[in-house]
Amino acid sequence: MLDIKSQFPFFTNHPDVVYLDSAATTQKPKVVIDALADFYTNDNANAGRSSYSLASKLATQIEHIRADVQRFIGAHDAQEILFTAGATDSLNKVAYSLGMNYLQDNDEILYCPYDHKSFVLPWLNVQKLLKDKGIHIRMVPFEMTKMGSIDREDLFSKITAKTKVINATHIHNIYGADSDINQIKKHIGDKDIIINVDASQSVGHIPVNVQELGADTLSFSGHKMFAGQGIGVLYISQRLQQFIPPVFVGGGNGITIKDRNKEISSFTQSYEAGTQNYAGIITLGKAIEFIEKVGIEKIHTHLAELTQYLVSKLRSIKGIEFAYGPYYWRCSDGMGIVSFKIDKISPEELGFILAEKGILVRTGDHCISTHDEFNDTIRVSMHIYNTKEDIDKLQDVLEKIVG
């Protein structure tokens, strides 16, 4: 494996820390940190708001990065790429825009209760808002398998003539499984159903092509793929754009006022009202450059190897119980996410003990609202900078704790 860890200042400054919480946020490579500092040191301006060169240069740079994102996720056109404050912001905008402009009485939204709250709560809010207006939409849950992916048989059985949106997580944030969203698209065929995808844990980990997935909308955060925090992307396909105008508006060139009515002149700019997080967008561009230099296939291969190695090492721990995910797989794949608990030790207590030993993991319900035997777990999530030595240290500490 390439010498990756040395490119991340965090590990230079904390050489004894084993960081296993990348599904929450990734550490940042030096090229991303330098780009952030360089922007505020030399190029700070408000893009397109003034006639001087700094502003116009920044506006051009932002559009170049938009094109980079388009290419990175396989979108058809750069105008399908919208910059947001993060995946949560993107997912809320999809729900509210469809709720206010597209959904009608008795329409149905399919969702998985095991998904991240940021994917579920916006729809529950929209459901209540519409109910107050006399419009009733149904939230229809579907199940997931022990593999940690969508139970497609259950999902397909729930599709009716009233189904308008299917919410699908690409890679699950707790179970690390790929839900084969393209199979959902193949099943629904030409039905007028919107496929709304949360790709927070897939973009930057595996190759993602929105057209091959069949996604109508797709959301992800920059900070989970080495960029700065507070920047995200919302992809909206051209076919959907006529049904999903923005519900949050403000300054910018995308909307004009004529005879006290708004007119949308640019779909992209209308969704990006106000001053954007230009520094965050620049870090996103640098993060994409970094990922492509390393190679997205190399990242996936590395994570698959680490995932299988981690599962094999954890099997030897007395009293361990795996949550859904790689433990149940018959293949040697993996996305770097494994969740588990150990008998008679609470995940919170275990997390504190591990932290004292310099091993940083995530504990708790990981932002899902279901209540079952795996509602409270330890989650280990890895990325390109992790090694088998990190896993060995985790195993050694866990065995001593259990012993």
| Alpha carbons 204 and 381: distance in angstroms, whole number | 14
Phi/psi of residue 128, nearest 5 degrees:
-70, -45
Please, which residues bridge with residue 165 across strands? 109, 194
367 catalytic residue (yes or no): yes
**Residues in CB range of 145: below 8 A, 6 or more apart:** 151, 324
What number of helices (H) and strands (E) belong to the chain? Answer: 13, 15
Report in angstroms the alpha-carbon separations of 292 from 68, 73, 196. Answer: 11, 12, 26
Phi/psi of residue 346, nearest 5 degrees:
-70, 145
151 within 8 A of 144, measured Cβ to Cβ: yes
Residue 319, Cβ density class (10 Å: 0-12 exposed, 13-18 middle, ≥19 buried)? exposed
Tokens of 176: 């690390």
Give the DSSP H/E element, type plus range, for residue 54: helix 53-73
Supply the DSSP symbol for 78: G
| Alpha carbons 384 and 204: distance in angstroms, whole number | 10
Residue 194, Cβ density class (10 Å: 0-12 exposed, 13-18 middle, ≥19 buried)? buried
Catalytic residue, from 367, 369, 370, 387: name it: 367
Tokens of 67: 């094109």
**Active-site amino acid positions:** 367
